Chains A and B, each alone.
Chain A
C-alpha cells in the first residue's frame, strides 16, 4: 500500500490514486471491442498504466486463427450501417487501436483458466497477448486503479 504524506501536493495524489486503468474483456461480440480499443488507446495516450485481462469468448479474438467477431443479434440489422460509418469516419479497427495502446505501454493478459477450458496455449495466441496469468495476478496488478468489465 502506498503511504500518503499529508504534505503531498494534490497533483501528486491524483497521480498515485488514479494513474491506472484495467479492463476485464469478457464479451465476444464486435460492438464491445470498439470501446476496448478506444479506452485502451486513450488511457495509454494520457500516460495511464493500462492492463487488459482477456477471458471468456473474448479470447477467440486473440488467437492466431482468423476469427470474425459476430455482432449481437439484437443489433445485427445495424451492423452494415455501423461498419460503413466507421470507414467513413476513418475509425481504426479495435486491434489497430489496441496495438497502438501496447506501443504506449499497455499490457494484455489471457486468463489461464479459460485458456485451458478452450484448449488455448501461449503459442495459439497472436502477438497482442503478453502472457497467460491467473485471476489473482490480474487483481493484484489492477489494485488501486479504475477497473471496467466489458
Chain B
C-alpha cells in the first residue's frame, strides 16, 4: 500500500438521525484506502457507540471521539479494506 497517497476525508452527518451517520461512514469506507483518516461529524448521540460497533465489525481503528461546537467528532484510521 502506498502511504503517500492516503488522505483525510471529512464526512458531515450533522442533523442526520440514526442510522444516517453510520451509513455515511460505511459509504465513505467503500471509497477509502488503507491508511486513510476519516473524520465523521454527527449530532445523533447514538454514533458514540455505533462507531465502536462499526470499528469492531470491520476491523478498523478509532483514534478519537470528541465534542466540538455541539457536534460529535470521530476520527477513524482505515486499517482494513
Contacts and interface: CB of A to CB of B under 8 A. Distances in A.
Contacts of B34: none
B57 to A, nearest CB: 4
Interface residues of B, number: 18
Contacts of B67: none
Contact of A42 (B16, B50, B56): B50
B32 to A, nearest CB: 14
Contacts, number: 45
Interface string A8-48: 00010010000100000000000000000010011011111
Contacts of A65: none
Interface in A87-146: 89-92, 97, 100, 104
A23 to B, nearest CB: 14
Given A11-B59, A19-B57, A45 B16 contact: no
Closest 9 CB pairs of A and B: A42-B19, A45-B26, A46-B57, A45-B23, A45-B22, A46-B54, A41-B19, A47-B57, A47-B58
Interface of B: 15-20, 22-23, 25-27, 50, 53-54, 56-59
Given A19-B57, A38-B18, A90-B15, 8 more contacts: A14-B56, A44-B26, A45-B19, A45-B54, A47-B54, A47-B57, A90-B17, A90-B20
